[in-house]
Amino acid sequence: MITAYCLRDGALASVPVPAGSNIPPDAVWVDLFRPGEGEDRTIEAALGISVPTREEMVEIEPSSRLRVENGARYMTGAIVCNSEGERPALAEISFILAGHRLTTVRYDEPRPFRLVVAKLDRICAPGIQGERLLLIMLDTIIDRAADIIERLSADIDAVSRQVLEPESERSGDSQRFRTILKQLGRRGDLASKVRESLVSMGRLVTFLYTEGEAQRFDKDQRALLKSMQRDVASLTDHVSYLGSKITFLLDATLGMVGIEQNNIIKIFAVLSVVFMPPTLIASVYGMNFQHMPELDDRWGYPIALLGMLAAAVGPYLFFKWKRWM
């Protein structure tokens, strides 16, 4: 799907462009969402640029993600999607600057895109061009990453209180440890994705700043790029700290699981020692006694069966009550 955003009446108006149609001449931003083959050709013919394929967008070589071809700057970065869901993911987004027009190629719907569209749909600076629009988008992406890190930090603090709660409030429920491990795993996965996104954004901003010097960005734009570089570096350091904290909490949780298991094994060892003398006596003498009233009792056999059943069920219920199982 091709959507052209044109500056009209002081705001960016979205104009759907069918495959094979002309791009509006006043479009400052052309967005390709899951482009088909015909749409690729439409953009390439109208704008004189090559649209990267999805396979090219996921390549990790800097020369493939950040390059200049025929006066157009091709930049690919990763953005975290579905950060509030159970399965966060990284979406590769390509930004192409050519002729003061921004072209984006994407296969997902990250939230920063919706925020930028909603913001510029209400009011937009007069005479805005693709360079300024790209800076607004990058700034929104970095702000969104900061919001995710803030929420992630609060979640990790909540998990930390569960792991390091006082002994009097702690229960040895295995389900509790299982839940904590799952929470730490999800937070660790999100932290790694945010860090990867920030690294890609940092490279993109640095590349754009260097190219911006050559393209003579104005003073305010260079200052904004420099500020974004500092923000990315600071956020990367903070998310690395959160990753270290997650590792510490994971080690602490596994250590407590080991302590709980050792306590259970200790109880089993004590019980084995307690029942060892009776077992020794029974193994030596057996049940070979001449006077055993139970042998003549009519209900002796059913009572023995019930005793065996109680001996099996009793420990099971006790272990469940103690939450060892």
pLDDT digit string, tens, across residues 129-138: 778 888 888 8
Edge-first strand order for the sheet with 2-8 is 11-17, 2-8, 27-33, 101-106, 89-98, 72-81, 66-69
Cβ distance 80 to 193 under 8 Å? yes
Highest CATH level, class, for 2-259: alpha beta
3: confidence class by pLDDT, cuts 50, 70, 90: confident
Mean of pLDDT values over 118-128: 76
pLDDT in tens, 44-81: 666 777 777 777 777 766 667 788 877 778 888 888 88
Cβ distance 95 to 111 under 8 Å? no
Selected residue with higher pLDDT from 16 and 193: 193
105: confidence class by pLDDT, cuts 50, 70, 90: confident
Top-confidence range, 19-28, 75-84, 164-173, 279-288: 75-84
pLDDT in the model for residue 216: 62
What residues does each domain of the chain span?
A: 2-259, 287-325
Cβ distance 79 to 57 under 8 Å? no
Strands 2-8 and 11-17: antiparallel
255: confidence class by pLDDT, cuts 50, 70, 90: confident
Query: What single-letter amino acid sits at 253?
Result: T
Mean of pLDDT values over 26-32: 81
Mean of pLDDT values over 34-43: 74
pLDDT in tens, 176-224: 778 888 888 888 888 888 898 888 888 888 888 886 555 667 777 788 8
